[in-house]
Copies of this chain bind each other. A is one copy, B any other.
Amino acid sequence: MAKPTKANTPITEHLAYLLAQANREINRQLELRLSKEGVPVEQWRILKVLSDGNGHSMGELAEAVLLNHPTLTKMIDRMVSDTLVYRLQDPNDRRKVLMFISDRGKVLCKKLNSLAVDQEEHILESYGDKSTSELKRLLESLIDSSN
């Protein structure tokens, strides 16, 4: 008889797959709401990170919004065109560029936040308070354990 292994496990039982599936679904829902303002999820993330009012370098920002470097550069180009954010050279380290949110960006970010909160509330309703916070806890700890 063959040795029992995990090799033939259906794909739906792999953690990597479940994460991809859940992410896809939740992201789709969020995308749908944000599309009311014509903004991709990544731009919302950028605005949200910048909305502390401080300057953030491109590297820092790329890490925070889960984009790699060249992709972020080009997305920021678009957002600068839309005057949602602007660039300033870092006076302390002239290799760096510091990104700031504009007034227009702040206004948009507020609208987006409330659309996103809508979604979180919708999830809470169908999925439950307890499951949600437990899931968040486990995800955080998974991320920690992966570094």
Question: Which residues of the other chain, B, contact A25 by a CB distance below 8 angstroms?
Answer: 142-143, 146
* A144 CB → nearest B CB, Å: 9
**Do A145 and B117 touch (CB < 8 A)?**
no
Q: What class of interface size applies to chain A in its complex with B? A: 35 or more
Question: Which residues of the other chain, B, contact A23 by a CB distance below 8 angstroms?
Answer: 19-20, 22-23
**Do A127 and B139 touch (CB < 8 A)?**
no
**How many protomers of this protein does the assembly include?**
2
**Do A16 and B145 touch (CB < 8 A)?**
no
Q: Which of A13-41 contact B (CB under 8 A)?
A: 13-27, 29-30, 41
**Do B15 and A120 touch (CB < 8 A)?**
yes
**Do B7 and A113 touch (CB < 8 A)?**
yes
